[in-house]
Amino acid sequence: DEDEDEDEDKDEVEGDGDDDDNFDEDEDERDGEEDDELDFEQKARETVARMAAEARENQEEMKEQEASFTLPTEEQLRQEQAITPDISNLKQRIKDVAEVLGDFSSKREEGRGRGEYIEQLRSDLGSCYGYNAELLEMLFQLFSPAEVIQFIEANETPRPVTIRTNTLKTRRRELAQALIARNVSLDPIAKWSKEGLQIYESAVPIGATPEYLAGHYMVQSASSFLPVLALSPQPGQRVLDMAASPGGKTSHMAAMMSNRGTLVANDFNKERIRALQGNLSRLGVRCSVILNADGREFPKLMGGFDRVLLDAPCTGLGVISKDPSIKAEKSFQDIQRCQQLQKELLLSAIDSCQANSPGGGIIVYSTCSITVEENEAVVDYALNSRSVKLVDSNLEFGVEGFTRYRSKRFHTSLRLARRFYPHVHNMDGFFVAKLRKTNNSLPSGPASSGLASSGTDVSTPVPHDSLKGKKKKNMGKLAKPAAACTAKVPPQSTAHKKALKQGRPR
Amino acid sequence: EELKIFFEKLSKYIGRGVKELIQRPDAPHCFRLHRDRVYYVGDSQVKVAAALPREQLMSMGCVFGKFTKTKKFKLHITCLDYVAQHAQHKVWIKASAEQSFLYGNHVLKAGLGRITEDTPQYQGVVVLSMADVPLGFGICAKSTAECRKLDPQSIVVLHQADIGEYLRDEDSLC
């Protein structure tokens, strides 16, 4: 008892320095009370110590369990291939491998390299979700392993249904009231859109309400709003939409132009022209002229547009959630073929645009794909072949475009392009780049020699002197494309450092 | 020749409004015939369309309708906005009859809400919902005076075109 009291006294003295004076006097009086308190405290301390010990034991156990994740041996893999894959097993393994890769130095298994883990992850993702090998390879080049898993999981669920109010016929508030009266639960999409509405659930099919038939809204995905917002055509302008069907973006442009001006809507596919015609009539678009031609014929058919929108045909790797067959079908060959077409279409689009029109000379290039080959590579090609430059698209959100990718180096201004991902923005994968045409003539010098080697059909490079003779507003900018080519190497090093700082995916 | 047929048909629905459509104060518009279809286009668009090759031009401005093989003119639903604006005789139908009309059925007396005064028999009319949303056109089967005496199951408006066709009948519109 005495020892106890002494110890406890010492503890209390250490604890409360202020009460030192009073302590000695009141010691005897307090002893009785202190006994009860100290017992209680002692028990509390013991419990805490016990809990801490248990927690430590648990952690050690968990660590042992984690460390015990080993990659399956070849025999186990062969056994697995013989039977039908067990999805939950695969998913668990995917999670485990991702964890290991996340903290590789501490969690790795001895003797197994990083490559082996990634191989295992790839084959598991392929068999679990149905992606083909080439596609997975491409995804791993684009994202880190953890992000690839997020992307793939995001593609398994559909994106929210969204509609756009047709401002030619109604206001968003009135439309929302009318739809709520029909038992549709909805909300505005986000701050960046004044016309979008997101549908949570609906008692009636959203594509068949009387408001839809009266042309008060159009069902389109949120990412389809973006290229039109970037292009922002003004009333009275002459605008071209090179791949217009089924008409969501075309009608959006007509709404922004308040039906004044001329909107040429072109599509190569004759069957889809019917859908385009139907939608434009339903939505009350009156300023349109619908054409069925190959987009590459464009400057020949008609040129001198103020603004051009090219929502290019692509492999659709950003919209896998809408069309799961893409996972198994698309290959590098498809990407290459699309890229060729996209390059030609973009050059035609640029050539059809009038450089010096007031507030005009703007081309927006967009795709619903996330591959670099179809997006940054195509825009970079255009920057080298024509007198255009990238400008800010005024889209406040979105990931910046890549300026480097594996061994390729792109123009620094590609940072101004925007990428959108399903797992980050909850929209379909998308890419938007806004270009401004600085000059109607082709750039001369090293740029045009680059053109000839790529095999496109271009007239002989214009000699520098004749260009100087012509009166052009943006004469100073003429030197830019040529300079951009030769000066490409030095600025890239700073861009490279910047890109590293921004944490570009490996 | 075709112009006469077209204007006759159109004036059945909007009467004098035809003049207003052509002589608009804000921007001159005109009617153009292209491949059996009649389009209503503004001048600036006509200039653009004129420069484009005929085989590839699919549509311009607003489609009003098309000529059949026997040279009769059929008015399409796509011109509803213009027709509804200038229509002289209108018929309002109740919410219960809306769906039925949108499926292509005729309007019965039970579904009739309002009708403009002095509508002669077999007059072209525009059908509207009670909220003044245009739903389509039709032909009045009975004059206004006769409508009051009818029993609920008889037809008052014969269906000609309705906005449900955008879903049912997309192909014929282009």
**Residues in B touching A293 (Cβ below 8 Å):** 53, 56
pLDDT at A31: 52
Question: Cis peptide leading into A235, omega within 30 of 0?
Answer: no
- Which tens digits make up the pLDDT trace of A239-287? 999 999 899 999 999 999 999 889 999 999 988 998 899 999 999 998 9
Q: What is the mean pLDDT of residues B59-76?
A: 88
Residue that the structure tokens 């195509």 belong to = A378
Q: Looking at residues A318-330, what average pLDDT do you find?
A: 87
What proportion of chain A, given as a percentage, has pLDDT over 70? 79
Q: What is the pLDDT of residue A20?
A: 47
> What is the band of A219 on the pLDDT scale with cuts at 50, 70, 90?
very high
Query: What would the mean pLDDT of A9-28 be, rounded to a whole number?
Result: 48
At residue A404, the 3 state secondary structure works out as strand
User: Taking CA A46 as the corner, what is the angle to CA A41 and CA A52, rounded to the nearest 5 degrees?
Assistant: 125
Do A286 and B171 lie within an 8 Å CB cutoff?
no
Res. A303: pLDDT tops 50: yes
Q: What does DSSP say about strands A418-420 and B29-34: parallel, antiparallel, or unpaired?
A: unpaired
Least confident span in A425-434, A467-476, B64-73: A467-476
Res. B54: pLDDT tops 70: yes
Tell me: pLDDT of A320 over 70: yes
Mean confidence (pLDDT) of chain A: 79
- The predicted-structure confidence for B138-173, as pLDDT tens digits, reads as follows 888 888 888 888 888 888 899 988 888 888 887 777
Cα separation, A20 vs A243, in Å, equals 87
In this predicted structure, what is the pLDDT of residue A36?
62
Q: Is the dihedral of CA A467, A469, A474, A479 positive or negative?
A: positive
Nearest to A302 among B51, B78, B133 (CB): B51
CB A284 within 8 A of CB A218: no
| pLDDT value at A454 more than 70 | no
Q: What is the pLDDT of residue A88?
A: 83
Q: What is the mean pLDDT of residues A432-460?
A: 60
If we measure between CA atoms, which residue out of B163, B54, B32 comes closest to residue A281?
A: B163
pLDDT of residue A32: 52
Q: What average pLDDT score do residues B43-60 get?
A: 88
Chain B contact for A293 (CB, 8 A cutoff): yes
The answer to whether residues A411 and A383 touch, using CB atoms and an 8 Å cutoff, is yes
Local confidence band at A364 (pLDDT 50, 70, 90 cut-offs): very high
How high is the pLDDT of residue A503?
A: 42
| pLDDT at B47 > cutoff 70 | yes
* Least confident span in A106-115, A212-221, A342-351, A432-441: A106-115
Residue A16 has pLDDT above 60, yes or no: no
CB within 8 Å: A214 and B164: no
A444-474: b (≥16 Cβ within 10 Å) or e: bbbbbeebeeeeeeeeebeeeeebeeeebeb
Q: For residues A504 and A405, give the distance between their C-alpha atoms in angstroms, rounded to a whole number.
A: 9
Of A207, A264, A284, which is closest to B81 when you measure between CB atoms?
A284
Tokens found for residue A1: 């008892």
Q: Select the more confidently predicted residue: A454 or B48.
A: B48
pLDDT, residue A15, reads: 44
Q: Which amino acid is at B15?
A: G
A501 exposed, middle or buried (CB, 10 Å; 0-12, 13-18, 19+)?
A: exposed
Higher pLDDT among residues A131 and A464, named by residue: A131
Which of A175, A216, A290, A305 would best serve as a mutation to test chain B binding (most B beta carbons within 10 A)?
A: A290
What pLDDT does A65 receive? 62
* pLDDT value at A225 more than 60: yes
Q: Which two tokens stand for residue A255?
A: 């709404």
Nearest CB neighbour to B45, from listed A262, A273, A282: A262
Q: Specify the higher pLDDT residue, B53 or A103.
A: B53
- Cβ of A290 and B102 within 8 Å? no
Tell me, what amino acid is at A427?
Answer: M
Decide which of A504 and A255 is more confident.
A255
pLDDT at A355 over 50: yes
Q: What percent of chain A stands above pLDDT 90? A: 37
3-state secondary structure A13-66: HHHCCCCHHHHHHHHHHHHHHHHHHHHHHHHHHHHHHHHHHHHHHHHHHHHHHH
Q: Which residues of A touch B63 (CB under 8 A)?
A: 277, 281
> By the CB < 8 Å criterion, does A277 face chain B?
yes
Long-range Cβ contacts of A279-282 (<8 Å, 24+ apart): A279/A218, A279/A246, A279/A247, A279/A248, A279/A250, A279/A251, A280/A247, A280/A250, A280/A251, A280/A254, A280/B59, A281/B62, A281/B63, A281/B78, A281/B166, A281/B173, A282/A213, A282/A215, A282/B78, A282/B163, A282/B166
Helix (H) or strand (E) holding A175: helix A172-181
How many CB atoms are closer than 10 A to CB A503?
Answer: 8
A-contacting residues in B 95-124 (Cβ below 8 Å): 98, 102
Residue A250 contacts B where some CB pair is shorter than 8 Å: no
Compare A482 and A141 and report the one with higher pLDDT: A141
Tens-digit pLDDT profile for residues A133-179: 888 988 988 888 889 999 999 999 999 999 999 999 999 999 999 99
Which of B60, B163, B174 minimises the CB distance to A289? B60
Give the tokens for residue A434: 């806004």
At A181-201, the pLDDT tens digits run 889 999 998 888 989 999 998
pLDDT for res A358: 81
ipTM entry: 0.90
At A489, the pLDDT band (50, 70, 90 cuts) reads very low
- What's the pLDDT score for residue A37? 67
Distance from CA of B59 to the nearest CA of A (A): 5
CA distances from A274 to A179, A240, A246 (A): 27, 18, 8
Nearest Cα of chain A lies from the Cα of B80 at a distance, in angstroms, of 9
Find the mean pLDDT for residues A306-313. Answer: 93
pLDDT for res A11:
47
The model's pLDDT over A418-440, given as tens digits with 9 standing for 90+, comes to 999 999 999 999 999 999 998 88
pTM of the model: 0.77
